[in-house]
Amino acid sequence: MRQVKSIEEIEEAVKEYGEIVISKNHKNNVIFMSMEEYNRKNIEKYMIKELNKSEEEIEKGEGIESDIAFLELKEKYGY
């Protein structure tokens, strides 16, 4: 992720990375990143969100025992 200071930098980034995403960061600076980096960051955010949700379910007693979960996965997917 790099801060954009000129159109030329954007043109260079497109030449280097192909597809890019242009956005603003928390400091309100215009930034760009490759699609690969953008997708990786979104996957990380999704995984953190899902892990937090799982932890909340466990704290509420809504989770299931791991041996039961693995048995259900084995039955469903045949592993």
Q: Which among 36, 8, 34, 12 has a CA at the least distance from the CA of 23?
A: 34
pLDDT for 78 equals 87
- Average pLDDT on 59-79 reads 90
The DSSP secondary-structure symbol of 1 reads: -
Asked whether the predicted pLDDT for residue 79 surpasses 80, the reply is no
pLDDT for 42 equals 93
Q: How many structural domains compose the chain? A: 1
Specify the pTM.
0.56
- Domain span including residue 7: 2-77
pLDDT for 60 equals 94
pLDDT tens sequence across 17-63: 899 999 888 898 889 899 999 999 999 999 999 999 999 998 999 98
Helix (H, G, I), strand (E, B) or coil at 32: strand
